Amino acid sequence: MKFRKYLLFGALIGFYSCQAPVEKEKEPSSNAETAVKKTSIAEIEEGIKQFIADKTVENEGVFPVKDENHDLRMKLVRVHTEYLSNLGPESHFACVDLVDESGDVYDVDFFMEGKPGAMTVTNTTVHKLNGKPFYSWKQNKEDKTWYRVALEESTNSLLGVIEGQDFFEFYYNASIPNLDGPAKMWVPLAESDEFQEVKIESISVPGKQQNLEEQIYDNTLLYMELGPEDSGKELEIVYSVKRKEKGPYEANTPDPNIYLASNILMPKGGRFEEIAKEALGEKIKESHLIQARVLYDYIIDNMRYMKFGDFGKGDSNYACDSKTGNCTEFHSYFISLARSVGIPAKFSIGASIPSDRNEGGIDGYHCWAEFYADGKWWPVDISEANKYTALATYYFGRHPANRIELSRGRDLQVSPGPASGPINFIAYPYLEIDGEEVKVNSTFSFMRKVSS
C-alpha cells in the first residue's frame, strides 16, 4: 500500500526499531513571507496522547486498534518521542507502544493530521509484536513514495531468545574446598511454578543435610553441615526442566511491606526517589505501566554493562554512583527507583540457557526483575535489553523460555541461617566458615532435550 500523501517521509523504518521520517532542509526564504511555525515534537506527543486518551474514554478504558490483520483493545505504554516526526505543516508520524489485554506489547505506526489538540489519525498499522516486526518500509525510486514490505517470519534466537517453550537438563555443580573445621552451606533448590516444571533427576550432597523453607519469598534452600571429611567432595544436582516463555501474568495486589520496602543493598527513597521523579518528569502523573517503561529506558540509557570494580552484589548505590555493573546492579537500581515512586517490584535469579547450542557450560548466573501494574506482574530484563537494543521492546514484559529460576527475593532469612545475617540473594552455594562467607568453585551446564 502506498502513502502518496507522505512524500516527505524520508527515512526507512528499520527492521528492529522505528526510525523517524526525515524532512528535507528547506531553502532559505528569499522573500518577506512569514514562515509557517513547525509543530514541536512536544506538541505532537501531547496531541497523540490526547487522541489516545479521548478514544480510551469513549471505549470504556481501552484504546481500539484495527488494521487488516488486527482488532485489538489496548492501553498506552509510551509514545516514542525519539521517532516523532513532522511530515508537513499539519501532517505527522508517530510510533506508539501499546499493550493489549493479554500483556503483549505492540508497536503501532500512527499517521496523523491536524493541529495539536485537534489531531485526527488517518491511518494506523501494527508494526511489531513484542519487538518483532511484521513489515518494513521501502521507497519507490520513481515517485519517491513509501510502501510497506512484508518480512519473512523473524526470530530472536540469534540474540539469545527462545520463544514458546524450552526443554533441558540443568546441571548444578560445586566443589567443597579444604576444610580445617566445621562449616555450613546453603544452596537454592529450583521449584516448579506457573512457568517452569522442575524435577530433580538426581542429587549428590556431602555432609548432613536438611531442607529449609524461606517464608517471605517462598524459597527452599538445601542446608548442609560440613566438616574436614567433606573436603574436596562434589555437590551435584541434576534438574529436568520444562520452561515456558514468561509474559505478564495476573496476580493479587502485592504486599507493600515486601515489594515496596527497602532492602539492605536495594534501598528506596532519598536520592532514588529524586532520580526517579526527575526521570519521570510530567509522567509522574501517568499510570505505573507508563512510569515503569520510563524507568526501564532510563536504566538502559544511563548504565553500561561492565564487570568492573565492586560489581555483582546488586548494590543500588554502587549502580547509581558508577553507572556500571552486571545484571544484579541493573535490576537492583531499577527496583530501587520503581519502589521509590510506589511501583511494586521484585528480584529473581537463576541462569540463562544458551540458545545457539544444545549442550555445554553456562557463563554463570543471571538475574531479572518484575514490576506490578494494571493487576499483573510484568517481567523485565534490562541488562539484556542494554546489550541487545533490538530486543528492548521484547524484554519489557517478556522473559524467554531458555532460563531457569533458582530463587527469588533479597535479604533471605532461614533458620539455621548465616551468622552474618540475611543472605543478600542466592544462586551459587553460600558457604560460611567461622562466621565468614567463603567463595565456592561452582559451575552450571546443560543439555537441551528435543522434546518433553
Residue in the structure block whose three cell numbers are 552474618: 420
Our count of domains for the chain comes to 3
Pairing state between β 249-250 and 208-214: unpaired
* 7 part of a folded domain: no
Angle CA 303–363–356, to nearest 5: 100
Are 281 and 391 found together in one domain?
A: yes
How many of the other CB atoms lie within 10 Å of CB of 207? 19
Whole-Å CA distances, 171 to 105, 165, 332: 34, 19, 27
Last residue of some domain: 127, 154, 181?
154
Residue 18 inside a domain? The answer is: no
Q: Does residue 188 contact residue 406 with C-beta atoms inside 8 Å?
A: yes
Residue 396, all three cell numbers: 519489557
pLDDT at 186: 98
- Show pLDDT as tens, one digit a residue, over the chain (452 residues): 333 333 223 332 333 334 433 333 333 334 434 444 556 667 777 777 888 888 889 988 888 887 667 788 888 888 876 556 666 677 777 778 888 877 888 888 878 788 766 777 787 778 877 777 777 666 666 765 556 666 555 556 556 899 999 999 999 999 999 999 999 999 999 999 999 999 999 999 999 999 999 999 999 999 999 999 999 999 999 999 999 999 999 999 999 999 999 999 999 999 999 999 999 999 999 999 999 999 999 999 999 998 888 899 999 999 999 999 999 999 999 999 999 999 999 999 999 999 988 999 998 999 999 999 999 999 999 999 998 888 899 999 999 999 999 999 999 999 999 999 999 999 999 999 999 999 999 999 999 997 65
* Residue 188 placed within a domain: yes
Question: Based on the domain organization, do 331 and 440 belong to the same domain?
Answer: no
What pLDDT score does 34 carry? 40
**Domain housing 280:** 249-408
Does residue 2 lie within any of the structural domains? no
Domain assignment present for 205:
yes
Query: Could you tell me the CATH number of the domain that includes residue 216?
Result: 2.60.40.2250
Residue 58 sits in the same domain as residue 129: yes
Q: Name every residue whose Cβ is closer than 8 Å to that of residue 404 and which is 6 or more positions away in sequence.
A: 170, 190, 196, 198, 239, 241, 243, 350, 351, 353
| H or E element, residue 345 | strand 345-352
129 in the same domain as 209: no
> Which of 128, 154, 180 is the C-terminal boundary of a domain?
154
Do residues 21 and 87 touch, judged by C-beta distance below 8 A?
yes
Same domain, 374 and 320: yes
With beta carbons less than 8 A apart as the criterion, state whether 130 and 104 touch: yes
pLDDT of residue 137: 64
Whole-structure pTM value: 0.77
Is 256 in the same domain as 378? yes
Work out the burial of residue 67: count CB atoms within 10 Å of its CB; fewer than 13 is exposed, 13-18 middle, 19 or more buried: middle
Q: Is residue 418 part of a domain?
A: no
| Domain-located, residue 26 | no
Domain identity same for 209 and 333? no
Q: What phi and psi, each to the nearest 5 degrees, are found at residue 327?
A: -60, -30
Q: Are residues 190 and 265 in the same domain?
A: no
Tell me, yes or no, whether 176 and 137 share the same domain.
no
Total Cβ atoms within 10 A of residue 118? 11
Residues 266, 240, single domain; the answer is no
pLDDT at 99: 85
Strands 436-438, 345-352: pairing kind: unpaired
Q: Do 265 and 379 have their domain in common?
A: yes
On whether residue 11 sits in a domain, the answer given is no
240 with 255, same domain? Answer: no
